[in-house]
Amino acid sequence: MSTQSIVVASAARTAIGSFNGSFAATPAHELGAVVIKAVLQRAGVDAGELDELILGQVLPAGEGQNPARQAAMKAGIPQDKTAWGMNQLCGSGLRAVALGMQQIATGDANIIVAGGMESMSIAPHCAHLRAGVKMGDFKMIDTMIKDGLMDAFYGYHMGITAENIARKWQLSREEQDEFALRSQNKAEAAQKAGKFADEIVPFIVKTRKGDLTVDQDEYIRHGATLDSIAKLRPAFDKDGTVTAGNASGINDGAAATLLMTEAEAGRRGIQPLARVVSWATAGVDPQIMGTGPIPASRKALEKAGWSVGDVELVESNEAFAAQACAVNKDLGWDPSIVNVNGGAIAVGHPIGASGARILNTLLFEMKRRGVSKGLATLCIGGGMGITARSAAATRTSSGNAPSPSMTCSRTTSSFRSAMTAGPIDSASHSRMHAWRCILPPGRECMS
């Protein structure tokens, strides 16, 4: 197995569409194709150099065989390249990235596109008719609810799991609404400041009135107030506290990353967004599935030898304000570094794509702030969580390995000894320092 660092060479996402919004008639694979093209173009990688493509998707019913393969072909990926989809519910987009990392780490692939896509708007209704239907009405099943939003073990909506968390963690309606308002306000400010522009690749929707360019997230509620959120009725339990205002949206969108080794990026002269250095999953009681990020994040931090206080930026998917508040309280991280541009309550939650979407947002914000330690995490229906840990990538120099002139504010003793012994080549530098020089120069390294 390769010990080389694996990097995100580029990343992109579509804007997030509202339910039955601009992407109402757009299949998920068409959204996926656009972000596949974008990550290749942004890194200057030819489609023929790609080894495989992995896309998460929760609601593929009615889209035809292997929508991931459809997305790849539509993006111009050659026929001799493979593509496949996977489903781990809300964690799918991030798990696809982890699977891509594994492919590269084992030497089975060199360059991977990984991410997720979802069209919740066109998820079909269905009926079981193969055995025939008796006279009278019959029941139609909403596949979006059945396959995406309904707990398979207890037979209730994900919203009830949020109610369970609110009761267990003693979270009031007011606390949840205030959290939701902060998410909306942060997302509105970020959108107005153009902070999502680097992430989003425009998507052209054909309409009867001509082409419509969608390059802005549609779900963000500008001008949201606590009063407007507080007026909403409970959505899942008449005596509950979870509402449409303090829950994530039902949305459409796609996001992708381009993965390769750090050495490959250096050879190509690509400055990566970051290294994705570890990931972890964990299981919890399905009745409180939203707490999955708690054990998953602890496992990921333990793998890294990090403490919660070491993390400089967090993207934690906001399935519901109740679960997000519980995760934040239990892990105890600084709330000022969590979802700094708003979360899924404001931006939206296209379930198969969200894992890759929050990773995109995390990496671009890490780059903007010049921070070196980030964490992306999501809860997963059925009682699971997934977390990925990212770190700033070593700067490449014109297609070569990291420059030996780079310095760190703190070095290991072996590296310090080598420095005093005379000039050091870049290969030795990378071996002794384990690719941990963090940029910009002068920032403290990760040793």
- What is the CATH topology of the domain spanning 6-123+249-391? Peroxisomal Thiolase; Chain A, domain 1 (3.40.47)
Secondary structure in 3-state letters for the chain: CCCCCEEEEEEEECCCEECCCCCCCCCHHHHHHHHHHHHHHHHCCCHHHCCEEEEECCCCCCCCCCHHHHHHHHCCCCCCCEEEEECECECHHHHHHHHHHHHHHCCCCCCEEEEEEEECCCCCEECCCCCCCCCCCCCCEEHHHHHHHECCCCCCEHHHHHHHHHHHCCCCHHHHHHHHHHHHHHHHHHHHCCCCCCCECCEEEEECCEEEEECCCCCCCCCCCHHHHHCCCECCCCCCCCECCCECCCEEEEEEEEEEEHHHHHHHCCCCCEEEEEEEEEECCHHHHHHCHHHHHHHHHHHHCCCHHHCCEEEECCCEHHHHHHHHHHHCCCHHHECCCCCHHHHCCCCCCHHHHHHHHHHHHHHHHCCCEEEEEEEECCCEEEEEEEECCCCCECCECCCCCCCCCCCCHHHHHHHHHCCCCHHHHHHHHCCCCCCCCCCCCCC
Of the residues 90, 325, 408, 445, only one is catalytic, namely 90
Task: In whole angstroms, give the CA distance from residue 86 to residue 396.
Answer: 33
Determine the pLDDT at residue 239.
Answer: 97
Task: In whole angstroms, give the CA distance from residue 182 to residue 343.
Answer: 9
User: Identity (one letter) of the amino acid at 208?
Assistant: R
Determine whether 222 is an active site residue. Answer: no
Determine the pLDDT at residue 396.
Answer: 53
CA count, 13 A, side-chain hemisphere, 322: 27
Q: How many residues does the chain have?
A: 447
- Positive or negative, the CA dihedral 264, 253, 334, 324 is negative
Q: Block means of pLDDT (10 residues each) for the chain, length 447 residues?
A: 81 99 98 99 98 99 98 99 99 99 97 99 94 85 98 98 99 99 99 98 96 98 98 98 98 99 97 93 99 98 93 98 98 97 99 99 97 98 97 60 33 31 35 30 33
Of the residues 349, 408, 437, 445, only one is catalytic, namely 349
Determine whether 408 is an active site residue. Answer: no
- Domain ranges in the chain? 6-123+249-391
* pTM (predicted TM-score): 0.88
Of the residues 325, 379, 437, 445, only one is catalytic, namely 379
Determine the pLDDT at residue 428.
Answer: 34
Determine whether 90 is an active site residue. Answer: yes
